[in-house]
Each structure stands twice: as C-alpha cells, then as structure tokens.
Structure 1
Amino acid sequence: MPPGHPPYQGGLVTCEQLASTPAFHGCEPGAQTATVAASFGDAVDGEVNWPQQWPTSTVPAAQVDKLPVLGVLVGTNGSRAAVEQVRTLLENTYPGRLYAPWTLAEFRDQQQSRVSAYQRLANAVMLVSLMVAGCSLAVGVAGGLSERKRPFSLLRLTGVQLRMLRRTVLLESALPLLVVSAVAIGMGFLAADLFLEAQVGYSVEAPSASYYVLVVAGLVASLGVIGSTLPLLKRITGPEAARND
C-alpha cells in the first residue's frame, strides 16, 4: 500500500476489471478503483447476490496494478467443463497456493457444512447438559428424602396423602430445573449473538424445529429421572421411620 493513503480492509480492484465481467457488478459512478473483501467469497451474502456497487477506493488505478495479487476471480458459464478448465489454469499459473481454486457453490457448501457441524455439537452439548442436570437433581432429591424421611413419615401419620408429598417433592425439584434451563438458554443465545456479531458480523437467527424438539426431549428426560426417585418416598416414610430411637 503506498504511503499517504488510508488503510483499507481487504483488496483493491480497478473498475475496468469489474466492468469486464458484468455479473460481478461494478463501481460507483465516476470511480476508478473499488475496495473489495479480502476474499471475494466473503462478500457473498450466503445467497447469490453481489454488492450492487463496490465501495470506492482513493487509490489511483495506476497503482493498483503494482500491488500484489490477493485473489483471482473468474467468471464462467457454470458448466463443469468450464469450471475444471479454469481450475486447472489457475493451479498451473499460481502453483503452491495454500488453497486450491474453488467455486462459490463449493464455498457456500463448506460454510454450511461447518455451521451444521457446530449446530450438531451445540445440540449434543445441550442434551447432555440437561441429562446431567436431571441426574444431579435426582441425586439431590434422593439425598433430601433420606434426610427428611422422619418428618415425611410424621406427615403421613397425620393424614397427609402420599401423592401430596410426591407432588411437593416433584415441584421443589422440577421448578429449579425449568428456571435454570430457561436462564441458561437465554444466556446462551445472548453470548452467541455477541460472539457472532463481534467476530464474524453475523446475527443469531431463530433455531430450527429440531432445537425445540431437543430442548423438550431433554427436559422430559430430566423430569423422568427425577420422577424415578419418587417411589423411594413410599418405602422410606413408613410408620417405623417416625419412631423415636
């Protein structure tokens, strides 16, 4: 970059070069050079749209030709033969490159595959976390029942029905699970949104139906684990547990 010019993000291209391939659109009126992303693929919004007009650069067109090549973008008719011919030409012209030439469709597929892998990992972590939370609560419930078996036995002797005790235990165990899960999900979305906005400029979108299915399945499984401890209440709250030693 010549001294005296402001720094730029990405690369530079002359408007004459852009005009040679109308599919890539062009510059603003009167501009000689434009600023583009460091990788042309990064400028694609994930669909099929290029920017209608690339941002104007203050670098003269004569100096752009003296700068090192950052990337090469070639327009084809989309046929397999044309793509492979261009790929071979680029590999022979620029040997030893870090990445092999790729098409925008391949770039999008790679990005989507990476995002899908992250989604599967997040779903697995979320499901396992809910199961661990349910098991932890089950251990806590069992320990609490053992500690309170005499008070519960006295309550049963005074006429409190067993289903009322089970409902009480289930409520005091399930309510914290649901509250903590809601807070954790909200904090997770907030942290993900802040990270994506700061690092890659993306915003969090509404999750797919599979996310809600996993959340509900995890909560149901956790509640089922907690419910499996309730039969213990009948066995440890008999009349013998109410006797004074």
Structure 2
Amino acid sequence: MLCLTAQSALQGRSDRSAWQYTRADTPGTGSVRWLAVTDHFHGEQVLRIHVVAGPDSPSPGFPLPRAGEVVASPAMQRLFASTPDDQLDDRFPGEVTGTIPVDLLSHPEQLIAVVGGEVPGMFTAAGIATSPDHAFFAFARIIVGIAALVLLVPVAVFVVMASRIAAAQRERRLAALRLVGATRSQTAAIAAVESGIAALAGTFAGWLAYEGLRRVLASSVTYEGFPFHAADVRAPLAALVLVPLLAVLVSVFPLRRNASKLPTAVRALPLAVGIGGLFLVTYTSAAGFDELAALFVISTVVGALVVGPWVCLQVGRLLARARSATTALAARRIEHDPKASFRAASALVFAAFAATYLSGLVSAYGDLPGTGIPPGVVTVFDGRDREIVSDGTMADEERIRTREAIASPNAIINTRREFVLRERRLWDDVESAVHFAVTIVVVVAGCGVAAGAAGGVLERRRSFALLRASGTTLGQLRRVVVLETGVPLVAMTGLGVALGVLTLVATKGPLPTPGFAAVVASGLAVALLVAATPLAVLERASGIDAIRPGTSA
C-alpha cells in the first residue's frame, strides 16, 4: 500500500494547487483579472498572484482580496514577519487581511500570496482552474507507476513463496480428503478458504501499519524539496482486495513444480547482445547502430532476468568445490534447482540494476553548488532584458529583486541560484527515492527467500532428521540453510549492481557514489537477517519424529 501512495500524493498536490495555474482560457461563468508571477527569496520559490475581483468573480476557495489587501499562506506570513520590508514585503503592496487555507496549497510550507489591485500584464479569466493540465505531471505519474510496479514485484514473489510453505503436506491432506469422497472443487475451496483467512488477517495487519506509516511518509519524503499533505498519501482500497485474492489464486493452482532442464550459457546471449550493442553505440561511429539503441536497452533488461538461473547454477557449482560438508550440501541444493533459487530473489536483479543505473545518473549532480553560490548577477526579463550586479550580499540581491518587482510586477527575475537549487533538490529527491526503493525491494525479497527456505525445510523434514541421526549437528544443518538462502540473495544483488555499473560504463555514465554502496550493503544485511528466519523451525523439523513411519520424505 505504501508503494501505491505516490500516485495519489502527486495527484493530490497537483489538484490542490490547480487554482494557482488559472489561464486566460480557463472556462467559467464569471470574470476575474489575474496575473501569476514566479518569484524567489533566498533561493526559495515564491508565487505572487495579482487579482482584481468583481461581483461575479469565481472563488478559489477563499475570498479574493480587494485593492490594498493581501491574502497569504501561513508560511508566507511568517516570512513577512521575519524579513525587512525592502527585501520582500514591498513586493506585495497592501495589508495582510486573510490566510490561504493549507488545503489549497501544493504542500504545507508553500510560499504564496494573492495581492489585490491592477498591475500591467493582467488578463481576464472566466473562471478559476480546478484541474491540472501540465504535461510534466502526466510524465511524473508514468514514472511513478513504473516504479510502483518494480516495488510490487518482490511483494508478489513473496506471496507466491509464502503459499508454498508446507505445500507438500497440504497436498497430501487434500488428497486424503479426495480419497474419502471430496470433489476437486471442494478441496480447491478448502485450500482457498485456508489461504484466504490467513491473507485477510495479514492484510488487516498490513493496513494498520500502513495507516501509521503513511503520515510519517508524508512528512519525511519530499518532492522538489517539500513534503506532502498526509491526506494525499493514500493507497487505492483495491489493494486490500488484491492481496488476499492473489493468495487465494496461488493456493488453488498446483503448487508442486516438476523437474526441468538445467539452464545453459545460452541464457547469457540477450545480455551480451544488449551490453555489447550499447558499447558499440557509445564508443564507435558505426552507421546504423544508433537506431538500435532502444533495442539494446530492452535486450539488456530482459537479459538481466533471463541470465539469473544460469548464474545461480554457476554459483552452486563454485560452492560445490569447497571441502566443507555443509557448503557442499547447500551447493548441491542450489545446483539441483537453480531456477527455484533464482525465483525467490529474482526481483533483486532488475531492482538493483535499475537502482544502480539511476544512482549513477544522480551522482553526476552531487557536486552542484546550492545556496553556496555567492550573490551576484540578478537577471530581469521584462521586455528590456538586463542584468543587475549586486554588492555581493544576499540582502542587496533581494532588495534589487524587490525594487524591480515593484517597477515591473510581471517581470521574471532570476539568478543562477534558483535553477541550481531546484535541480539539486529534484535529484536529491530522486536519489532518496532510489535508496528507499532499493532497501524495500531487498528486504521484501529477503522475506520471499525466507518463505521459500521455510517451505524447503518443512518439505525435507525426513532428510534433515536422517542427517541428524547419522551424526550431523544442528549447527551444521543451520549453516546449510543459511548458505541455501543467503548465497542466491547476495548473488542476485551483486549481479544487478554489476550489470548496472557495466551499463553505466557502456553509456559513459557516471558511477554511483560510495553512499549508494552503503545503502545496498545495509539493505542486504537486513535481508540476510530476514532470510535466516527458517532457522527457527529447523530444530523441530529435524527432530526424531520426522523419521517415524507416516512422516514426509
């Protein structure tokens, strides 16, 4: 549910601030004179809106000010009170007579003021805008939707792996019911109800956690440097239905997997074509390859997923060379079914690959100066485009900006600081989102690996019990389980990161910062701890009772 809140958060921010983007062609039944100007103060964006309201003027949700009046947001009013008039307040002539409701701000700390009175450059609108229509918002929603799907992949894998716990015992029990007269539909209904009850309980617990965490998310996660309204951070209620439904569907379909052929090196071919093609496009001038760049990218992404089982097989064979008996047992398990070993951690390959590549792109902006840019040139665009040099102090820069805004209210006044600060904030937010996504994916993938390992332990109760009876210690069996679960987890994370770095090199992109490695290492450490949870059931599962007649093999 947390993964799905980004869409509503962006939608809510855009809907709340839609009135601020009123245009001359905005439909309506009234009439209002309007001019919105983007301003800045100490690098922070300030929106100044000039209005002339009449008796039939529409309302954005609060009374429009008359000439000589100002209506400002709470954050703007605090800034007025703490700033000399010649640096800020004089740009907004009039007395503050009202407050813009927080619900009509894009974020709680938005700096915006509506000033009553006629100024040059105003236009007449018939209504106040009520819905966003700018293209960037639609693009951002697409990106967020793709990111949500990436985050949900390990969740779906986890549900599938969790449903496989004790699958063999469940199938034998249902088979026994069939022998005493139960129909196939009745046994399917029993399996569905069992899984559904557990899934409903888990979904309810997850919803309680979501209700508590979404408020923390709203206040701590930023977009363009600012947090969200808590009411906008909400997930569609359909998520509450889809999770138990997925669990029920998985429980109804056959859970036993048939043996399949071992993967071969042919699986590495799409990846080799993709990476090799990117190198050709970037480092050579061969004709015709530029048009194939998109296909090489797709081949790289698909190849990263296809090659996973083969990599697991090679890792298992490498482990098999060890002289340790526990390592050899774990290696044989991975070798026997590398596709199963990869399946539990499959989400990690693409997630780590995408996160590494994005983190590398973000690192290119890590050295951009922000507020440390010394005050200097103020650029004024008012039809007489010109540059004004300050005395080197921030206060004088703001006085220049105020003086020019009074002389020409519709002028666009900028310094390099605004562009750099906004760009840096945007990329900082992207970097934080990437790190957050990597951590979530790695931890949830660890849960999937743990669920698969727990199912494997329960299915091999008799084998483990025979090993203990023949002299293998419980500690040795624990090391076997840790290796079985941990090695694929580490291998798939490493594969994704390595492919991400290789793709950056192939496209001449900057490498990720050392901080990204720390994030990956931390997430992987937590995932390994989660993946070790099957150890809790190992002692009981390998007890002497598992060898007695009637127990599972």
Fold conserved between structures, TM > 0.5? yes
CA shift in 2, pair 1:101/1:193, >3 Å = farther
Residues of 2 paired with 1:168 and 1:140: CA distance? 14
> In the TM superposition, what are the counterparts of 1:157-236 in structure 2 within 5 Å?
157-189=469-501, 203-209=509-515, 211-236=516-541
Render the CA deviation track for 1:11-63: whole Å, top value 9, x for unaligned: xxxxxxxxxxxxxxxxxxxxxxxxxxxxxxxxxx94699xxxxxxxxxxxxxx
1:101 match: secondary structure: strand
CA shift in 2, pair 1:132/1:93, >3 Å = same
Render the CA deviation track for 1:184-216: whole Å, top value 9, x for unaligned: 223444567789x7xxxxx4244143x333222
Residues of 1 paired with 2:481 and 2:401: CA distance? 67
Residue 115 (str. 1) matches residue 427 (str. 2) = yes
Contact 2:504 2:511 in 1 (8 A): no
Question: Which of 391, 405, 409 is the matching residue for 1:77?
Answer: 391
Displacement of 1:171 in angstroms is: 0.6
Between the aligned residues of both structures, percent identity stands at 28
Structure 2, unmatched stretches of 5+, are 1-366, 374-382
Q: TM-score, normalization: structure 1?
A: 0.59
Render the CA deviation track for 1:64-106: whole Å, top value 9, x for unaligned: xxxxx7x755444333354235434654677556xx4222123
Contact 1:152 1:237 in 2 (8 A): yes
Q: Indicate the residue corresponding to 1:34 in structure 2.
A: none
Q: Which moved more, 1:110-119 or 1:131-140?
A: 110-119
CA shift in 2, pair 1:194/1:159, >3 Å = same
Corresponding letter in the other structure for 1:79: T
Question: Which of 106, 115, 119 is the matching residue for 2:418?
Answer: 106
CA shift in 2, pair 1:72/1:143, >3 Å = farther
CA shift in 2, pair 1:96/1:157, >3 Å = same
Residues of 2 paired with 1:193 and 1:124: CA distance? 24
Residues of 1 paired with 2:436 and 2:456: CA distance? 30
CA shift in 2, pair 1:124/1:157, >3 Å = same
Contact 1:189 1:204 in 2 (8 A): no
Contact 1:46 1:108 in 2 (8 A): yes
Residues of 1 paired with 2:395 and 2:415: CA distance? 13
Corresponding letter in the other structure for 1:172: E
Residues of 2 paired with 1:93 and 1:237: CA distance? 84
Question: How big is the alpha-carbon RMSD for the aligned residues of Structure 1 and Structure 2?
Answer: 3.3
Structure 1, unmatched stretches of 5+, are 1-44, 50-68, 198-202
Contact 2:457 2:534 in 1 (8 A): no
Corresponding letter in the other structure for 1:142: A
The number of residue pairs the alignment matches comes to: 174
Displacement of 1:110 in angstroms is: 1.9
Residues of 2 paired with 1:186 and 1:72: CA distance? 50
CA shift in 2, pair 1:109/1:194, >3 Å = farther
Displacement of 1:143 in angstroms is: 0.5
Q: Indicate the residue corresponding to 1:60 in structure 2.
A: none
Q: TM-score, normalization: structure 2?
A: 0.28
